[in-house]
Amino acid sequence: MPTDLPPVDKAKFVAAKRASAYVEDGMTVGLGTGSTAAWLVRCLGERAQTEGLRFRGVPTSERTADLARELGLEITTLEEARWLDLTIDGADEHDARLDLIKGAGGALLREKIVATASERMIVIADASKKVETLGACPLPVEVIPFGWQTTCALIEEALIGLDVMGREVTLRMEGEAPFVTDEGNHILDLHLKRIGDPRRLGLMLNQIAGVVENGLFVDICDVVVTGYADGRVTLHDETRGTLEETRYEFVTEDNIFTDISD
């Protein structure tokens, strides 16, 4: 790993490294999607090579599956695994209650299915992802392509009576064409600025015809592992009500992080 990583990538790396320690031999593990989750997959690949770690991974996207195969990790499907020991994934935002917004990478449907089929969900993030109130980043909503314009209008109408600061809804694009998820759907991004009641909003969205799933993860996450550019990592365990800190040191001569405290 290069030593000249930008600070945000250093933070993501140490969070991923610490979270990878949750994976034990014989586990079945959900592997998230996104830049932070990609660091996790690389850390697990390193453990597999250096420690002989053996586990089965259930990727939440084709991108993650390709990376896992490239690193020689064993992957399987949720249909075959049925139930997972844990899922480790990133987040676009999380609050103090460990409620999340996910879906900037477009894999929110698979991510939520895999996370809810797991005994525990661990989120890895840099410090910028913690917010006082969810909603600063757009909330993704996966919708079927048929009649998406009508679905969009229904969402805009429903938002009028909710505790949010903005109501703009945009279709996510990829170049000049609508973005298409791994399941063949589109994504509407809701620019809400602030979400006063995430639970109510999530339930409302999923009642609208055409909506497949939304990016609010409420009461799903158990632990948030937060990395910092200086090598610090904090673990916020909501189940146990604990907050722990670990620190890693960049070792420039061999480009490896060394754990120097717990």
Cα-to-chain-centroid distance, residue 63: 14
φ, ψ for residue 32, nearest 5 deg: -75, -175
For the chain, the domain total comes to 2
Instruction: Work out the mean pLDDT of the chain and round it to a whole number.
Output: 93
103 labeled part of a ligand binding site: yes
Residues 112, 76 within the same domain: yes
> Both tokens of residue 191?
């620019």
* Strand ranges for the chain from DSSP E: 28-31, 56-59, 74-75, 84-89, 93-94, 100-101, 118-126, 139-143, 168-171, 173-174, 177-178, 186-191, 211-214, 216-217, 223-227, 232-237, 242-251, 256-261
Residue segments in the chain with a per-residue pLDDT below the cut of 50: 1-2, 252-262
Residue found under tokens 């797991």: 118
> Both tokens of residue 151?
């679905």
Q: Assess if residue 206 is contained within a domain.
A: yes
Predicted confidence at residue 3, as pLDDT, reads 61
Q: What is the tens place of the pLDDT at every residue in 193-205?
A: 999 999 999 999 9
Residues 88, 158 within the same domain: no
pTM, to two decimals: 0.91
Q: Which residues pair with 191 in a beta bridge?
A: 168
List, by residue number, the catalytic residues.
111
Q: Assess if residue 1 is contained within a domain.
A: no
Residues 154, 127 within the same domain: no
136 labeled part of a ligand binding site: no
Per DSSP, 185 falls in state -
116 labeled part of a ligand binding site: no
Residues 122, 252 within the same domain: yes
Residues 124, 231 within the same domain: yes
Q: Assess if residue 83 is contained within a domain.
A: yes
Share of the chain above pLDDT 70, in %: 94
Residues 67, 126 within the same domain: yes
The boundaries of the domain holding residue 50 are 7-131+219-261
Residues 22, 37 within the same domain: yes
